[in-house]
Chain A
Amino acid sequence: MKNTYWKKNIRYICILLSLWFIVSFGCGILFVEQLNTIKIGGFKLGFWFAQQGSIFGFVAIIFIYIYLMNKLDQTQNR
């Protein structure tokens, strides 16, 4: 029982940290040139990710983790 809790937690962390890496280092730094060729409104997409999108992404990632872990904690208490 204990072990599945920890394993699930680790799985959530791995998935969410990959997202964290993609929105910031991926879209904002490594592939910024390629994404900059796409324009949405007045923003070049890569530039937008670097200065705004990544931050919105971070907030979303933490709240998803809070949601997932609260659910996981409940299965523990049952």
Chain B
Amino acid sequence: MELQYWIWIAVGLSFSLYIGIAIWSRAGSTKEFYVAGGGVHPIANGMATAADWMSAASFISMAGIISFGGYDGSVYLMGWTGGYVLLALLLAPYLRKFGKFTVPDFIGDRYYSNTARSVAVFCALIVSFTYIAGQMRGVGVVFSRYLEVNIVTGVLIGMGIVLFYAVLGGMKGITYTQVAQYCVLIFAFMVPAIYISFLVTGNLIPQLGFGSSGTDGVYLLDKLDGLHRELGFHEYSSGSKSMLDVFCITMALMVGTAGLPHVIVRFFTVKKVSDARKSAGWALLFIAILYTTAPAIAVFSRIYLIETVSNQPYEEMPEWFDKWETTGLLGFTDKNEDGLIQYTANTTTNELTVDADIMVLANPEIAQLPNWVIALLAAGALAAALSTAAGLLLVISSAVSHDLLKKMVMPKISERGELIAARFAATGAVCLAGYFGINPPGFVAATVALAFGLAASSFFPAILLGIFSKRINKEGAISGMLVGVFLMLFYMLKFKFGWFGGGTKTDWWFGISPEGFGSIAMIANFIVTLVVSRQTPAPSKDIQDLVVNIRKP
């Protein structure tokens, strides 16, 4: 059957599934809208968290980024999984015990202050908007590439679907669609991976195939290190970043993961404290399936790419090469006019440019897999983007309707009124996200690191100390969050956008990249919070009792 039909079938079926679930799980109360009624099974919540967490970037771009970075790509693998250990051990159970709806709820109540609440709302909004624009863009790109509609139409279709189930079902609708989306996306990711692993190494399990040898008996990783040396790239398994920078980036991503509001809020949806721990475990297990496969795909496709193109005549390139060249993801300029493709690390002689996304998107075609696998991949990429967008949308809408409106501006608002406000806020957020998806601001890519850095430098210390110390008071927490956030913003603006005099790599403080600076800003937050709290009066007996109560199972 024609590829185009397969894609329409896969996307159509998965979308009707999401809509069906949305109609079945309408939200009737604010509790259902914000936390799905608080009765989600830990395994279901684990799947939903995994889908929520794995965005278009994890699904489409990560394997490609690792493929080009080699060992350097490890920061994402460790950074985006290690945070779940922090969540399960340090945050999730206690926040569930606290039992409210949002992260600013906790900050505002624990630090008995609306100023703290406002700072938390501000951070939650920045982090979520940064993230969601990228997701809508991802939806548009997938649509335009696979369904041959333009990006604007693609984004509009995506907006329509998310709007439908997020506005109708709130967290309840989102949770159950995310469970379905996880199944779609993991199936779509694993099928081509297993196929390719079997083709290259004869091993059906990509995680093992990764460390085996190809048909010529040489271990894949040794072969790749050799190819990299020949072409002048750094060795695949050793990397080019400094150890300190790798350390800081990994730490910032881990702590940022644990501090991201759309991840934390998922743990409010389970029934009891022990379920919060369990669902963090399941979530990481479900995430690990994709995250341990991605580096294997990275190696398979990297070797295949180099062997297919390096020093081969341009005229003899396979069909997929032409196809992806027209999309602009592959580019070839014959600089020395010998008709061969020179692919090297040296920018003056290199003739081939490859976009990282191609490693996952073109894989099925490169490995000549059947058309239905390609269709599946399209549906999977859409599931990844939509599920993350929906989770973020909920954080934005609850920050507006619950934290701003109910808790600060109009405390007397009725349950019904708040629910309507939440739906309006969600609609507004979808439209804004769609606008950014259609007209992507140039800063989207640069600000993903900012989102993690901000989460790490603002929420994480405030929540952690709020649970593990009774002595921390509002003065300490507020000044800590502000110092952390503004330090992070300053560093990002200086080195990513050239404000405050700008600066290059050589000017980085201690040689730490803006991506890794979240770790430093976080430490600054901790120090300020501890010092200021020492100098100011301890919180009241009520607050100390609240903390003691959170710690009980």
Interface residues of A (CB under 8 A from B): 2, 5-6, 9, 13, 16-17, 20, 24-25, 28-30, 32, 36, 40-44, 47-48, 50-52, 54-56, 58-59, 61-63, 65-66, 69-70, 72-73, 76
Contact = CB atoms under 8 A, between A and B. Distances in A.
23 contacts: A20-B85, A24-B82, A24-B250, A29-B243, A32-B71, A41-B219, A47-B71, A48-B211, A51-B71, A51-B77, A52-B207, A52-B292, A56-B288, A58-B82, A59-B284, A62-B84, A62-B88, A62-B281, A65-B281, A69-B93, A69-B274, A69-B553, A70-B274
B82 A54 contact: yes
Given A55-B292, A59-B284, A62-B85, A24 B78 contact: yes
Given A43-B221, A73-B274, A28 B284 contact: no
Interface residues of B, number: 46
Contact of B211 (A30, A32, A43, A63): A43
Q: Which 10 A-B pairs have the closest CB atoms?
A: A42-B219, A50-B74, A42-B211, A62-B281, A51-B295, A47-B237, A43-B211, A62-B88, A41-B211, A20-B85
B220 A13 contact: no
Contacts of B284: 58-59, 62
Contact of A50 (B77, B220, B281): B77
A24 to B, nearest CB: 5
B277 A69 contact: yes
A38 B336 CA distance: 42
A51 B211 contact: no
B250 A29 contact: yes
Nearest to B553: A73
Contacts of A63: 281
A70 B82 CA distance: 22
Given A36-B237, A51-B74, A29 B247 contact: yes
Chain B at the A interface: SS class: helix
Contacts of B212: 41-42
Given A6-B551, A66-B88, 14 more contacts: A9-B551, A13-B90, A20-B82, A24-B78, A28-B250, A30-B247, A50-B74, A51-B295, A54-B81, A66-B277, A66-B278, A69-B274, A69-B277, A70-B274
B53 interface: no
Contacts of A62: 84-85, 88-89, 277, 280-281, 284
Interface string B62-90: 00001000010110011001101110111
B85 A58 contact: yes
Contacts of B250: 24-25, 28-29
A59 B285 contact: yes
A63 B285 CA distance: 10
Contacts of B238: 36, 47
B246 interface: yes
Contacts of A42: 210-213, 219-222
B177 to A, nearest CB: 25
B206 to A, nearest CB: 11
A69 B84 CA distance: 17
Contacts of B295: 51-52
A47 B254 CA distance: 19
A29 B241 CA distance: 11
Contacts of B452: none
A26 to B, nearest CB: 11
A59 B281 contact: yes
A50 B221 CA distance: 14
Given A2-B552, A42-B212, A42-B213, A55 B78 contact: yes
B268 interface: no
